Homo-oligomer: A and B are copies of this chain.
Amino acid sequence: MSELLNGNGALSLVPKADGKQSAKDFKTDQEVRWCPGCGDYAILAAVQTFLPELGLRRENICFVSGIGCSSRFPYYMNTYGFHSIHGRAPAIATGLAASRPDLSVWVVTGDGDALSIGGNHLIHALRRNVNLKILLFNNRIYGLTKGQYSPTSEVGKITKSTPMGSLDAPFNPISLALGAEGTFVARTIDSDRRHLQSVLRAAAQHNGTALVEIYQNCNIFNDGAFDPLKDPEVRDDVTVRLEHGEPIVFGREGDKALRRSASGRFEVVRTADVDASQIAVHDARDPDPSLAFALSRLDSPAFEHTPIGIFRQVERPSYDEQLRAQLAEAVDRDGPGDLAALLAGGDTWRID
């Protein structure tokens, strides 16, 4: 089987476009209906300007979404699109991806759509490793239903449904995805197009399920949720950019770094205070997700040091290629299906 698997992953079976594409090729005639100032605009533009780089035939790209502001996304993409129902996009996309290796399948979802009603489909997609690229627009609020707290809202959040503050501890989508056996787990942010596109680039090429959490501002119901990561004054001090193979250093002047303490935990140190060899080097390819998990815990409500980038990116055969391989193997072994023979199988007798 392993042979069959080789090179069958990700985009290798998706036909390439004939000519050069531009962002315009991916725009539809539909009016974009997000609130002015919504972070979704920036993500849409980033995706539309990124896709030409992949050079795939437009008709072989599909966007599948659930319900929410973010889930309107497919209407604005001039590809095949499916705006489905709340929380179910990963399930629908799984059927599509598992049956069509010649498609590049993207899921667009929100923090409510993916983590609240759709939580089960998300974690199962991750462990199955179906060829889906999941873009999770995390604005830490239910936008479309006008502002209730979401599974990523910070504790104590006052919203329409929690006038005295929310009680439940939020999910950290990265930790959850790592605990769910995700093979590609990343975080980026709406306001940093370069970073966003660099993550999309890696995700698109990944063989299996890629989860990309995108911090997204909802300027109507949760404005400024990620301001520390955006404010030019502080962002470099609190954003920890993860790069595979690079020492984890951050701060405006690279003045902070991560070190593994004796106990095994990560600790933030002043770069100047430690020897370069003590600075942790990010290894997204580590088969063991434990270090990626530990990095995910650096995140805190106060945004003291928030990692963005690719936490984990490892190889594991994708569900769809393995399924394909089983089909091929069955044919190899016993020949293609013969309906007449099938029906006449088992114990039969003839009456004349």
The interface residues of chain B lying within 8 Å CB-to-CB of A167 are 128, 319, 322-323, 326
Q: Chain B: which residue is nearest A181 at the CB level?
A: B169
Closest to A262 in B: B260
A127-B151, A127-B169, A151-B124 known; A288+B280 contact, CB < 8 A: no
Is A120 in contact with chain B by the CB < 8 A criterion? yes
A42 on interface, CB distance cutoff 8 Å: no
Q: How far is the CB of A182 from chain B (nearest CB, A)?
A: 9
Against B, the Cβ 8 Å flags (1 = close, 0 = not) of A10-37 are: 0000000000000000000000000000
Q: Which of B151, B169, B297 contacts A290 (CB 8 A)?
A: B297
Instruction: Choose among B120, B172, B262, B329 the residue that contacts A120 (Cβ–Cβ < 8 A).
Output: B120
Which B residue sits closest to A122, measured CB to CB?
Answer: B120
Quick check: B171 and A175 within 8 Å, CB to CB?
A: no
Q: Is the CB of B293 within 8 A of A264?
A: no
Closest CB in chain B relative to A266 CB, distance in Å: 8
Of the candidates B116, B118, B127, B288, the one whose C-beta lies within 8 Å of that of A168 is B127
Q: Is A316 an interface residue (CB 8 A)?
A: yes
Contact for A319 among B168, B181, B263, CB less than 8 A = B168
A181 to B289, CA, bound (A): 16
Bound complex: CA A170 to CA B264 (Å): 27
Smallest Cβ-Cβ distance to A291: which chain B residue:
B264
Residues of B within 8 A of A151 (CB): 124, 127
- Measured CA separation A323–B280 after assembly (Å): 42
A164 at the interface (CB under 8 A from B): yes
- Complex: how many Å from CA A290 to CA B129? 23
A177 within 8 A of B: yes
**Within the complex, which residue of B116, B118, B165, B179 is in contact with A180, where a contact is CB–CB below 8 Å?**
B179
Chain A to chain B contacts (Cβ below 8 Å), 16 pairs: A116-B124, A117-B120, A118-B120, A119-B119, A119-B120, A124-B168, A170-B181, A172-B179, A175-B181, A179-B293, A264-B290, A265-B291, A266-B290, A288-B294, A288-B297, A290-B293
Against B, the Cβ 8 Å flags (1 = close, 0 = not) of A153-188 are 000000000001101111110011111110000000
Kindly state whether residue A123 has any CB partner on chain B within 8 Å: yes
Give A129 to B316 CA distance when docked, in angstroms. Answer: 33
Q: In the docked arrangement, what's the CA distance between A323 and B167, Å?
A: 7
